[in-house]
Amino acid sequence: MSSTLDIKRRIKSIKSTAKITRAMEMISAVKMRQAVKNVLQIRSYAYAARNVLANISKTAGAGNNIFFNQRPIKNILMIIITSNRGLCGSFNAQIIKKAKEEISNRAALNNAGIDFVTIGKKGENMVRKAGENIIAAFPDIAYLPNIANVRPVVKMILDEYGAEKYDKIAIAYTDYISAISQIPKIRQILPISEIDLGEQIEEIDALAKKHELSAPRYLEYKIEPNPVLVIESLVPRLLEMQIYHAILESKASEESSRMIAMKNATEAANEMAGDFMFAFNQIRQSKITQEIAEISAGRVALEA
């Protein structure tokens, strides 16, 4: 009897877990729809911001600007975007793996030092465990991203870059493709590279062509009255949009990964409960058969 009671307890526990994961799946589905809506709304603006940066980089005033000047890379600052919570499949693991690859490639970067700014607790924990230096952590942005919370991050990295403490600033985030596909990426945001922007714009053009959308227009700008002053005031706002866009892409990817993970967990729990129910029925049936056999044997003995 203890065996059947133990199996019944396990079945009850697994079904309770399945109810929890099912509820979490439904909550994540709602959050995912909102996160995807947010990122789709901002994408056109973010793509246009990249286009503006690419066009500005070709103007005469950009050549002498600190945002565009390339200098020898001695120190790198990486912004890494992860979630605050787990239970989201491989979302955090993928971007952490991408960041680790960048750390391991220091030899290719002349052993440049790498410091981190983390957005999300999971990334912060990973970086600390790896023994890397974190100059700032922003866990709240990962929970509820908005443009106002991004501005302190942008100001800090611009101040650090302007003081020449870092020669390159990159951002590691997860690009949302669909509910079942998210791609971790690392982008250089400072100095503004015409080559890197060109690669991003090529990706945007390919995406626009695939979905039959209008691609960004490439224009030649005439900046007045002073190109330098205009660039110095405009570039921080455009960088602000790039970082905000990366956070929204990561948020949509996180909720999609969590919804799929909870869906898989629910299906696995139901399958496991079914296996235990089959085992329970087998044990019960064997006991019934044994009892019938004993009754039959007893009757035969009495008749003899």
Mean pLDDT for all residues in the chain = 80
Over 80: is that where the pLDDT of 17 sits?
Answer: yes
pLDDT tier for residue 173 given thresholds of 50, 70 and 90 = very high
Give me the pLDDT at residue 199, please: 60
Q: Which residue has the tokens 């979630």?
A: 83
Over 50: is that where the pLDDT of 53 sits?
Answer: yes
**Is residue 15 within 8 Å of residue 23, measured between CB atoms?**
no
What is the DSSP code (8-state) at residue 252? H
Q: Which helix (H) or strand (E) holds 244?
A: helix 227-303
The long-range contacts involving 137-143, CB below 8 angstroms and separated by at least 24 positions, are 139/84, 141/247, 142/81, 142/82, 142/83, 142/84, 142/247, 142/250, 142/251, 143/84
**Is residue 89 within 8 Å of residue 258, measured between CB atoms?**
yes
Q: Which residue has the tokens 């007893």?
A: 298
- Sequence-ordered list of residues with C-beta below 8 angstroms from that of 246, at least 6 positions apart, any chain: 81, 171, 173, 187
Q: Which domains does the chain have, with CATH numbers?
A: 28-258 (3.40.1380.10)
Over 60: is that where the pLDDT of 201 sits?
Answer: no
More confident residue, 247 or 100: 247
Give me the pLDDT at residue 274, please: 87
Over 70: is that where the pLDDT of 180 sits?
Answer: yes
Over 60: is that where the pLDDT of 207 sits?
Answer: no
Could you tell me how many residues make up the chain?
Answer: 304
φ and ψ at residue 231, rounded to 5 degrees: -65, -45
In tens, the pLDDT along 221-260 reads 666 677 677 777 778 888 888 889 899 999 999 999 999 9
What whole-number distance in Å separates Cα of residue 191 and Cα of residue 181?
Answer: 30
User: Would the pTM count as exceeding 0.85?
Assistant: no
What whole-number distance in Å separates Cα of residue 228 and Cα of residue 213?
Answer: 34
What is each CA distance from 43 to 99, 230, 244, 249, in whole angstroms? 24, 24, 10, 9
